[in-house]
Structure 1
């Protein structure tokens, strides 16, 4: 069972999401909150801690951005999917920099909500057209970097191979099968990538790969 927390100050929307999510197989909402502070207080005593939190970006008391920062400090294993009406590239890319695991517009179909939840559980990161648009915007504003001039030059050939497969949303087992390696070896490469790039999670690795032209965002969807 995948345990979900949801924080949104709009009661009607939140209750509607709870009703929809509870219809998904093996997924259950176990915690509701109307702002970030209430969410954090509930997480502090939750046993067990939820697996995924669906987090509204605009909330009173403590908004989604500040709540995201505090969740990373206090519950580093908790996956965060942002729910928002904001579609500007700067919002999306800023939140990915903060280490969220997914970004959904509030008008998406229920099947995409389910897909996002399952994907962040299996692969740590769900990206969609909103993410790709934000990345294209970044690329258009920046000069292409030479790999010998920055961090990518410190990555081994194998680490780059693993990174490219991560960007294609393959699981650790699928990457291991593709490269004829063990899943333990793949996890080791992933940990090395996180350390070398300074990324907080898989989302950060994908962002790093796109920013440094190790993968073309047009090939990801």
Structure 2
């Protein structure tokens, strides 16, 4: 996403929580809560309506903040729906549950990040900015859970040293992607065009046998554990 205001839809069944989030985000000049939803069905409807007929200059919603415990349709079911209809729309999961219960599963379903409601305002704002730029927001506690989950499901070629799979430049991009950096951030850091970074990313996914940035993070953790 380019420069400009990040338009956010807040989905939570508690009015007081939505008001609190709105108040927190009011302190960020680059973030605007464009709408709220109190249940799953209304959230899906609003995203459809807000994004209908959109153009790059009239983006309806840039980020969805989604409570995992929603009435009518639960957050995980809604996450699947969002990723099916709007695959490029970042969904940041909010939860009061311990991270170990839903964090890894949410990320594997396509969430751009997972944030506990006990997080401070600075962390919430940072998370929204991160996912709006195409990055992956992972807290240290969730990163630890991801590391423990590596053994739960094999990833293709995960037992081979990464240096045998990638070129030097691909390895640079791989390291930054596995840290949750977006294509735009990597483009700036390595002085490459976004299209070039995207091409490297596609090659990395193909060579490592993973499907997305979450699985790439898991792959990186497996590689790290092999060299420790």
TM-score by length of 1: 0.82
Query: Which of 147, 152, 156 in structure 1 is aligned with 2:160?
Result: 147
2:41 maps to 1:29: no
Note closer, same or farther for the CA distance 1:29–1:180 as it changes in structure 2 (3 Å cut): closer
Report the secondary structure of 2:133's partner residue: helix
For residues 54-103 of structure 1, the C-alpha deviation after alignment (integer angstroms, 9 at most, x for no partner) is: 10001111111010000011111210111001124241111111111111
Question: Cα RMSD over matched residues?
Answer: 2.8
Does residue 65 of the first structure (1) align with residue 76 of the second (2)? yes
Distance 1:29 1:133 in 2: 31
Q: 2:166 is matched with which residue? A: 156
Q: Does 1:18 align with 2:22?
A: yes
CA distance in 2, matches of 1:205, 1:68: 20
Corresponding residue for residue 44 of structure 2: 40
Q: What is the aligned partner in structure 1 of residue 55 from structure 2?
A: none
Question: Structure 2: how far apart are the matches of 1:78 and 1:143?
Answer: 28
Structure 1 residue 44: Cα displacement: 1.1
Contact map agreement 1:123 1:169 (CA 8 A) in 2: no
Count of aligned residue pairs for this structure pair: 210
